[in-house]
Amino acid sequence: MPLKLGLKQSDDFFIVGFDDSGAPGALLQTGQTCAVSSGDPNTVAISQDATPRVTTADFTAPNGVVVPAGTQSIASGKVSAGPTPVENTPITITAHNANADGSPVLDDSGDPIPDLTDTVTINPSLLKSEGILFGTPA
């Protein structure tokens, strides 16, 4: 699901695998990795965890499946504004699964698992706080 971030905001990301029955928590095999990258690292920075974390809350995946807190991810990390962001432009984020030799990870039918993509937009105008004003105008 597309994400909008302010200039000084960051957010956790989790890439979760699903098994044949659609249940979350399927893992990569030994030697396989999931690399998450930004189409423009100067606008949207990705800081991937060396060891994938478990999900920190209940999430609903784009396929509609509820992923409970504590589900092991295949990749996790932080997403934030890059050093010189282009504002209000969606940047594609890609998750790519690969074997140690660089070949694509195959599903149980022998087909490559397609890359997962989504977008992040840096929007400096996102509401940060509000104030109630009473009294005489200045």
Residue 132: inside a domain, yes or no?
A: no
Return the pLDDT at 98.
Answer: 98
Look at residue 62 in the predicted model and tell me its pLDDT.
Answer: 85
Residue 99 included in any domain: yes
In a domain, 76, yes or no: yes
Q: What angle do CA 18, 107, 25 make, to 5 degrees?
A: 20
CATH number for the domain spanning 77: value is: 2.60.40
Q: What angle do CA 48, 50, 51 make, to 5 degrees?
A: 110
pLDDT of residue 124: 86
In a domain, 82, yes or no: yes
Averages of pLDDT over each 10 residues, the chain, 138 residues: 90 94 94 97 98 95 92 97 96 97 94 95 77 58
In a domain, 93, yes or no: yes
